[in-house]
């Protein structure tokens, strides 16, 4: 077994580098992405950066402490100490409203009459509010918007983005390609055929497909879809352009991706997936954050010794406190051993990925003080 350890991820260097304009945190659900994003943003602000953090679904109390429990889809200032503002730092936070973001895109791209037509289409309503996948695109859309705004008026010099908790969080990387293949494909011609009229477009192949779709979907659904696509037609080009721009922005040197995980097999496997996917797409990966690592025992009493001794005590006194302490210790040693092994496995297959390990805190984090503490742990001993 290799005992390779990963190079250390220097969080403060990343935050202090004025060349870092965007930090994207991704990883599977329940690994503490939102908390990590918020803690990074707070730390950067207190080190003099003008920061905005875009979160997807923060825990209620965390959102409250940052003053963003209202979903109004615009960044709100988080009150920080005066010394922070004197040093030029600031922190804004916002929570993504997926539907609102989508509506705004439609409204900005189409004339009011057409926008209304789209906003009321049953397909659009389903697409923008309740179906999976839209969130990822909208998070990136919002990132693009905030970035353009920040470049224009200099409100922010660092944008921290939290991503939705699923593997499809990286679906936005496919968005330009998917939209292109759809727009250049033949399916859209079929959906647009009635709107564009001439029956001669209806080749034999097309009519087979149309008939099949009518059979499966029913004529009414197909008609709704066609109306939707026809209304959206002129907007699709704009969507593709925006998706391509966002892709380029994510690939730029100013962006840094952080993959977040916990030292659990599933979370680390997902982290590997994210790391590989980002590397394949030439996305700038800054490193891996391993949250909630169990604290190392400070004594080298082994798990086996502790168990044997504990059993010996329990034989004579089932209530023995020392026996309980020994069992606890054994449990902790085993967990730490397992976590170390999981991390080493990752480091062995991805030796180039810099890693920051954040020890578990006893309770949940729901105030700025807690976020500050996480920030310190993220920065590691060097940052303390």
Partner 1 sequence: MAILAIVSTRTSPGSASPDWPQVRLHVVTGKGGTGKSTVAAALALALARSGRNVLLCEVEGRQGIARMFDVDPLPYAERRLAKGLLDETGHAGQVHALHIDPESALLEYLSIYYKLGRAGRALDKFGVIDFATTIAPGVRDVLLTGKVYEAVVRNSRNKDAITYDAVVLDAPPTGRIAQFLGVNSELAGLARVGPIKSQADKVMDLLRSPRTAVHLVTVLEEMPVQETADGIAELRAAGLPVGGVVVNQVRPRDIGPAALEQIRAGEVDGEAVAAELTRARVDCDAALVDHLLAEARDHAVRRELEEEQHEVVAALDVPTYELPRLAGGVDRGGLLDLAALMREQGLA
Q: In the range 243-302, which residues lie near partner 1 by CB under 8 A?
A: 262, 264-267, 269-270, 295, 297-299, 301
One-letter-per-residue 3-state SS of 245-268: HHHHHHHCCCEEEEEEECCCHHHH
Give the interface segment with partner 1, choosing from 101-109, 282-290, 309-317, 368-376 (CB under 8 A). 309-317
Report how many residues bind partner 1 under the rule CB under 8 A.
Answer: 81
**Site mask, partner 1, residues 47-76, x = CB under 8 A?**
----------x-xxx---------------
Question: Which residue, 80 or 360, is less far from partner 1 as judged by CB?
Answer: 360
Give the interface segment with partner 1, choosing from 1-9, 38-46, 83-91, 326-334 (CB under 8 A). 326-334
Determine if 99 is a binding residue for partner 1 (CB under 8 A): no
Give the interface segment with partner 1, choosing from 42-50, 152-160, 276-284, 331-339 (CB under 8 A). 331-339
Nearest distance, CB of residue 301 and partner 1, angstroms: 7
Question: Which residue, 32 or 75, is less far from partner 1 as judged by CB?
Answer: 32
Tokens of 45: 């602000």
**In terms of Cα–Cα distance, which of 17, 27, 23 is closest to 37?**
23
Question: Which residue, 137 or 257, is less far from partner 1 as judged by CB?
Answer: 137
Rounded to 5 degrees, φ, ψ at 2 are -70, 140
Nearest distance, CB of residue 49 and partner 1, angstroms: 27
The packing angle between helices 219-251 and 122-129, to 10°, is 40
Cβ–Cβ under 8 Å, residues 54 and 139? yes
Q: Which of 66, 326, 357, 368 binds partner 1 (CB under 8 A)?
A: 326
Question: Which residue, 12 or 224, is less far from partner 1 as judged by CB?
Answer: 224
Nearest distance, CB of residue 275 and partner 1, angstroms: 16
Determine if 334 is a binding residue for partner 1 (CB under 8 A): yes
Instruction: Report 184-223 residues binding partner 1 (CB under 8 A).
Output: 185-187, 190, 205, 208-209, 211-213, 215-221
Tokens of 217: 């979907």
Q: Which of 80, 119, 127, 230 binds partner 1 (CB under 8 A)?
A: 127
Determine if 318 is a binding residue for partner 1 (CB under 8 A): no
Nearest distance, CB of residue 312 and partner 1, angstroms: 5
Q: In a 3-state reduction of DSSP, which class is residue 124? A: helix
Q: What DSSP element (H or E) covers 90?
A: strand 90-95
Question: Which residue, 159 or 377, is less far from partner 1 as judged by CB?
Answer: 377
**In terms of Cα–Cα distance, which of 122, 131, 148 is closest to 52?**
148
Rounded Cα distance between 382 and 384, Å, is: 6
Determine if 134 is a binding residue for partner 1 (CB under 8 A): yes
DSSP string, 53-79: EEESS--HHHHHHHT--S--SS-EEPP
Question: Which residue, 4 or 334, is less far from partner 1 as judged by CB?
Answer: 334
Rounded to 5 degrees, φ, ψ at 185 are -80, 180
Question: Which residue, 126 or 195, is less far from partner 1 as judged by CB?
Answer: 126
Nearest distance, CB of residue 53 and partner 1, angstroms: 18
Determine if 321 is a binding residue for partner 1 (CB under 8 A): yes
**What number of other Cβ atoms are within 10 A of residue 361's Cβ?**
16
Q: Are strands 76-77 and 90-95 parallel, antiparallel or unpaired?
A: antiparallel
Nearest distance, CB of residue 247 and partner 1, angstroms: 17
Q: In a 3-state reduction of DSSP, which class is residue 191? A: helix
Cβ–Cβ under 8 Å, residues 335 and 297? no
Nearest distance, CB of residue 292 and partner 1, angstroms: 9
Rounded Cα distance between 96 and 88, Å, is: 26
**In terms of Cα–Cα distance, which of 206, 219, 161 is closest to 25?**
161
Nearest distance, CB of residue 213 and partner 1, angstroms: 7
Tokens of 238: 């704009």
Nearest distance, CB of residue 5 and partner 1, angstroms: 21
């Amino acid at each position: 077994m290799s005992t390779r350890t990963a190079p250390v991820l220097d969080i403060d260097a990343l935050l202090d580098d004025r060349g870092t304009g965007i930090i994207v945190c991704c990883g599977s659900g329940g690994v503490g992405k939102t908390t990590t994003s918020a803690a990074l943003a707070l730390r950067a602000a207190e080190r003099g950066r003008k920061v905005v953090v875009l979160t997807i679904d923060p825990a209620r109390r965390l959102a409250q402490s940052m003053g963003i429990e209202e979903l109004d889809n615009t960044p709100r200032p988080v009150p920080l100490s005066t010394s922070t503002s004197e040093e030029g730092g600031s922190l804004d936070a916002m929570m993504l409203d997926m539907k609102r973001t989508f509506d705004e895109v439609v409204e900005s791209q189409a004339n009011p009459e057409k926008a209304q037509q789209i906003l009321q289409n049953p397909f659009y309503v389903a697409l923008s509010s309740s179906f999976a996948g839209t969130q990822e695109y909208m998070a990136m859309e919002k990132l693009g918007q905030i970035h353009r705004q920040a470049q224009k008026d200099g409100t922010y010099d660092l944008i921290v983005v939290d991503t939705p908790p699923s593997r499809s969080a990286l679906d936005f990387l496919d968005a330009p390609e998917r939209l292109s293949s759809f727009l250049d494909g033949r399916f859209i011609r079929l959906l647009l055929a009635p709107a564009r009229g001439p029956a001669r477009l209806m080749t034999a192949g097309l009519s087979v497909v149309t008939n099949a779709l009518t059979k499966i979907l029913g004529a009414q659904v197909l008609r709704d879809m066609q109306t939707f696509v026809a209304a959206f037609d002129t907007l699709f080009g704009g969507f593709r352009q925006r998706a391509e721009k966002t892709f380029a922005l994510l690939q730029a040197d100013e962006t840094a991706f952080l993959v977040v995980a916990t030292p659990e097999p599933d979370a680390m496997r997902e982290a590997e997936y994210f790391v590989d996917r980002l590397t394949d797409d030439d996305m700038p990966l800054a490193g891996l954050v391993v949250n909630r690592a169990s604290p190392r025992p400070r004594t080298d009493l082994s798990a086996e010794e502790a168990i044997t001794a504990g059993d010996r005590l329990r034989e004579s006194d089932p209530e023995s406190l020392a026996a309980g302490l020994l069992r606890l210790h054994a449990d902790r040693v085993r967990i730490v051993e397992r976590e170390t092994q999981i991390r080493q496995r990752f480091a062995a297959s991805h030796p180039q990925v810099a890693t920051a390990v954040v020890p578990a805190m006893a309770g949940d984090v729901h105030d700025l003080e807690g976020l500050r503490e996480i920030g310190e742990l993220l920065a590691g001993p060097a940052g303390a």
